[in-house]
Structure 1
Amino acid sequence: MAQKQSPEKQVEALLQTIDPSKFADESLRQTLTVLLNVIEQQQSEIKELREENQKLRDENNRLKGEQGKPEIKSNQSKGFKSNHSSEKERHTPKKHTKSSKNQSIKVDRTCILDYPASELPPDAQFKGYEEVIIQDISLLTDNVLFRKEKYYSPSVGKTYLASLPPGYDGEFGPGIKALVISLYYGGNMTQGKLLEFLENIGISMSAGYLSNLLIKNLGDFEAEYNQVYTSGLESSSWQHIDQTSARVKGVNQTTNVICNPWYTVYSTTAKKDRLSVIGVLQNRQELEYVLNGLTYELLTSFNVPTKWHNQMKLLPQETVLTELEFNSLLDTYLSKLGSQYRTRVLEAAAISFYHQQSQIPVVEFLVCDDAPQFKLITDNLALCWVHEARHYK
């Protein structure tokens, strides 16, 4: 079956069949020649414009993080065997061998399957075993009745009671608690489906207890988060940071991502301004402030007028202040300070405290995009390669 040609190809083929020299009228031959030249020129311009338009679309998609039109190479002739590669050394292709997945499977038990002796002929000889690994899982309850020894001392007037093993606090053991938290946060299961799942395997848990298990008494997880974050900041002098929008109970908030090749942590804040970033880097919600030499250097970089510098020097210097205390001083002694300059003052004092505190490692190099809220917080600022490359376009 012949392949159907596109309209452009049909027009091109039709134009190739027209020969002006076959027309006897001279004026008609000249007119036809001019028209054919115009059509050919317009076809060439249309082709160039289409290519340029596609390049612009691809570039626009690339800047938006998308992909351009794929480059589909034409089929090569089967008889074309010439090597046009510019590589000086070509890798010798290796024969692909499929490795056995059973090498990574842990065998929990071995079961020997006997062939019915009554079905074997008299001369059948035993030739060993053919091994087959079958993977399976079993969900079994492990409900334990603990009988805790209990003693009473009349001389002391005190009762002594044996303690439960670690993790067995409340009505449920550590295994079921870990499973529920893993399925809820890792598997995105709803609380309703979790209750249904537990009931199906023989576990009786109330909806209230499940809710408390998921959202309360998470001190151990918070402690682990803090340890991971502190260790991650200590692992390298540079840290990546970025922000993305997040919905929290129907309200738009911002999730901050801080990472390097060794760790990643997420922190959600109500805003995405510089003060929020400073709080995230310190792993704390309540900021503290201090007025020192760095504060006034930052105020100069923020283009805060000198008159405000002089008035701030009348406030306590080199003194750590809480957010409430610092705002109270600004309300009392700098009451005419505009909202924009007030924000710059808060940022400068918060950055100064961040650099002098010792509770958490201070980031030396911050790798991020060119957003203003990341600037001047650390001694050095670096753009990630995607944003840095835009300056060389």
Structure 2
Amino acid sequence: MAQKQSPEKQVEALLQTIDPSKFADESLRQTLTVLLNVIEQQQSEIKELREENQKLRDENNRLKGEQGKPEIKSNQSKGFKSNHSSEKERHTPKKHTKSSKNQSIKVDRTCILDYPASELPPDAQFKGYEEVIIQDISLLTDNVLFPGKKNITRLVLEKTYLASLPPGYDGEFDLGIKALVISLYYGGNMTQGKLLEFLENIGISMSAGYLSNLLIKNLGDFEAEYNQVYTSGLESSSWQHIDQTSARVKGVNQTTNVICNPWYTVYSTTAKKDRLSVIGVLQNRQELEYVLNGLTYELLTSFNVPTKWHNQMKLLPQETVLTELEFNSLLDTYLSKLGSQYRTRVLEAAAISFYHQQSQIPVVEFLVCDDAPQFKLITDNLALCWVHEARHYKKIKSICWFLSTNIRQIFRGILGLLPRISRLQKFPLPQKTKQELKTKFCQLFGTETGYKQLDERKKLTAAKESELLLVLEYPNLPLHNNPAELAARTMVQRRKISYATQTSEGTKAWDIFMSLVATTRKLGISFFEYIHDRISLSDKIPELDTIIRSKFSINPQPL
């Protein structure tokens, strides 16, 4: 006996069968379309109200000392409607080529194996060797006791003469332990607690305080190389990826910024995620400087700041570089009635103007990012990420078959458009083909479907045509922001494992060492060997900025 469906299921099944295009009457088609949009809007509002109601119930229970409704996640996502991940689009398939796994293995010693001569037949002939590499590692302590001779003199003033340690020894731990600890913490994402357990298991006694100091203090040389990587990375290409992810410092929410290209990755944590913070990150500095010039007033117009404030600002010093304190003092004195929002726009415009005229650090020409407002108007050009844009259509939910079909058609249209655009990066296309792609874009996002929510989303995409299709004019620009997204995910993993930093010094250490980990990996360098080389001062590995410059001089990323 078939189980009777609930009224809600019956309605859902009915909605899956309605297709207004099958009705001949135009007025009936329009009426059905309007009704379907009303149903979609009401369903969306009902869902939001239910979620808000549950949150209020949970908060009420919490205030009464009880527990709210437990959040139990389903074992599997239900297909297109609930799967908003862009992992599939982020994955770039590569042609599989089978190669010897032994090519990258370092051979430390060779042991020739002989076959017992007594067991060989008389006609056996030697035909060379068949090689097999066996990999192993030895974790053995090498703790050295140094009885230092101690001499004391009391002729005039009491003085002690103590034999010094041999060259290369500093503190209670040698280079191998220090390099291993730093590489496991930052490169292997181990926690400090697990590191202490690991060291104890292999016979090393290290205090928690010493371990913490080893990981976050004495950053001098590493910080200098971090700054060099920052500058050389910005020099290596006229376009840069940028993204942001949340951070937790001293129990307060902050933001970690990611800037990268094929040769390097750097992290920089700031108190805020606004446009002023991004301007500071692009200059690798915390304190901003400001200047009033022609570009400032152009930006103020773009920010819709009233003309009367332009005129008053022209009475302030022009073409003069001002510190943050000096510029704010001028605004307090001569533009005291300027509202907080307009004041922020003025600060942003003046900071951007200084950024473009300064010469201490390379100015980024193209920023590849998502459409977050804090990234806009800082650089001359903005190239938006197609994967982010496609994700908006994944998030649109529909209970009607007719409307969900339109969403799938748009999504398939995006996925069909991208391969044609990506061919530009391999084979230059004529202007006619570029115009055809622009026409296809307009057809895809410029026509209405009758589905209100989808049509509103398409209008937003159509408004970004110049940023999404900038790659047609500059074929070397990436179509997506995957490298920055993946780099941000690495920091998220670090945050999940260690949760947060407790000091600004620890935050800086995370930024520096996580940047060096990501950069050495991109350059094909072992992070452990890099750390050991720098601590031992052997200088066998060249400075990373030198390697970056040699890389992009051989294989540049021009536009």
**What interval of TM-score do these two structures reach, taking the shorter chain for normalisation?**
0.5 to 0.7
Q: 1:211-239 CA distances to partner (integer Å, 9 max, x unpaired)?
A: 11111111222222211111111011111
Residue 348 (structure 1) shift: 0.8
> Which is further off, 315-324 or 177-186?
315-324
Residue 374 (structure 1) shift: 1.3
Q: 1:295-334 CA distances to partner (integer Å, 9 max, x unpaired)?
A: 1221122121222122222222222222122212211221
Residue 2 (structure 1) shift: 20
How far, CA to CA, are the matches of 2:287 and 2:233 in structure 1?
Answer: 22
Corresponding position of 1:57: 57
Q: 1:17-57 CA distances to partner (integer Å, 9 max, x unpaired)?
A: 99999999999999999999999999999999999999999
What secondary structure, in the 3-state scheme, does the structure 2 residue paired with 1:160 have? strand
What secondary structure, in the 3-state scheme, does the structure 2 residue paired with 1:35 have? helix
Residue 111 (structure 1) shift: 3.7
Contact 2:77 2:83 in 1 (8 A): no
- TM-score scaled to structure 2, two decimals? 0.47
Q: In structure 2, do the counterparts of structure 1 residues 221 and 297 end up closer, same or farther at CA, with 3 Å as the change threshold?
A: same
What secondary structure, in the 3-state scheme, does the structure 1 residue paired with 2:269 have? strand
> Which is further off, 98-107 or 196-205?
98-107
How far, CA to CA, are the matches of 1:216 and 1:350 in structure 2?
Answer: 32
Contact 2:233 2:263 in 1 (8 A): yes
Q: In structure 2, do the counterparts of structure 1 residues 61 and 384 end up closer, same or farther at CA, with 3 Å as the change threshold?
A: farther
Q: 1:104-152 CA distances to partner (integer Å, 9 max, x unpaired)?
A: 4333223456889999999999999875432110012344567999999
How far, CA to CA, are the matches of 1:55 and 1:306 in structure 2?
Answer: 45
Query: Max radius of gyration: which structure?
Result: 1
How far, CA to CA, are the matches of 1:178 and 1:243 in structure 2?
Answer: 29
How far, CA to CA, are the matches of 1:145 and 1:10 in structure 2?
Answer: 81
Matched, 1:320 2:321: yes
Residue 384 (structure 1) shift: 2.6
How far, CA to CA, are the matches of 2:174 and 2:222 in structure 1?
Answer: 17
Q: In structure 2, do the counterparts of structure 1 residues 57 and 102 end up closer, same or farther at CA, with 3 Å as the change threshold?
A: farther
> Which is further off, 245-254 or 172-181?
245-254
> Which is further off, 131-140 or 121-130?
121-130
> Which is further off, 260-269 or 65-74?
65-74
How far, CA to CA, are the matches of 2:231 and 2:67 in structure 1?
Answer: 37
What secondary structure, in the 3-state scheme, does the structure 2 residue paired with 1:80 have? helix
Contact 2:85 2:391 in 1 (8 A): no
What secondary structure, in the 3-state scheme, does the structure 1 residue paired with 2:134 have? coil
Kindly, what percent of the aligned residue pairs are identical?
Answer: 97
> Which is further off, 158-167 or 50-59?
50-59
Q: 1:187-215 CA distances to partner (integer Å, 9 max, x unpaired)?
A: 22222222222233232322211111111
Q: In structure 2, do the counterparts of structure 1 residues 186 and 319 end up closer, same or farther at CA, with 3 Å as the change threshold?
A: same
The structure carrying a bigger helix percent of its residues is: 2
Residue 344 (structure 1) shift: 0.5
How far, CA to CA, are the matches of 1:258 and 1:24 in structure 2?
Answer: 55
> Which is further off, 105-114 or 311-320?
105-114
How far, CA to CA, are the matches of 1:281 and 1:115 in structure 2?
Answer: 64
> Which is further off, 128-137 or 205-214?
128-137
Q: In structure 2, do the counterparts of structure 1 residues 229 and 163 end up closer, same or farther at CA, with 3 Å as the change threshold?
A: farther
Q: In structure 2, do the counterparts of structure 1 residues 308 and 42 end up closer, same or farther at CA, with 3 Å as the change threshold?
A: closer
- TM-score scaled to structure 1, two decimals? 0.65
Contact 2:90 2:387 in 1 (8 A): no
Q: In structure 2, do the counterparts of structure 1 residues 344 and 35 end up closer, same or farther at CA, with 3 Å as the change threshold?
A: closer
How far, CA to CA, are the matches of 2:152 and 2:333 in structure 1?
Answer: 64
**Count of residues paired in the alignment:** 390
> Which is further off, 102-111 or 121-130?
121-130
Corresponding position of 2:105: 105
Q: In structure 2, do the counterparts of structure 1 residues 290 and 118 end up closer, same or farther at CA, with 3 Å as the change threshold?
A: same
How far, CA to CA, are the matches of 1:270 and 1:28 in structure 2?
Answer: 56
Gaps in structure 1 of 5+ consecutive residues = none
Q: In structure 2, do the counterparts of structure 1 residues 21 and 193 end up closer, same or farther at CA, with 3 Å as the change threshold?
A: closer
Q: In structure 2, do the counterparts of structure 1 residues 378 and 105 end up closer, same or farther at CA, with 3 Å as the change threshold?
A: closer
Corresponding position of 1:114: 114
Task: Say what the alpha-carbon RMSD is for the aligned residues.
Answer: 12.6
Matched, 1:265 2:266: yes
Q: 1:143-164 CA distances to partner (integer Å, 9 max, x unpaired)?
A: 45679999999999x9999997
> Which is further off, 333-342 or 23-32?
23-32
> Which is further off, 25-34 or 353-362?
25-34
What secondary structure, in the 3-state scheme, does the structure 1 residue paired with 2:82 have? coil
Q: 1:273-301 CA distances to partner (integer Å, 9 max, x unpaired)?
A: 11111011111111111122221221122
How far, CA to CA, are the matches of 1:320 and 1:84 in structure 2?
Answer: 46
Q: In structure 2, do the counterparts of structure 1 residues 141 and 46 end up closer, same or farther at CA, with 3 Å as the change threshold?
A: closer
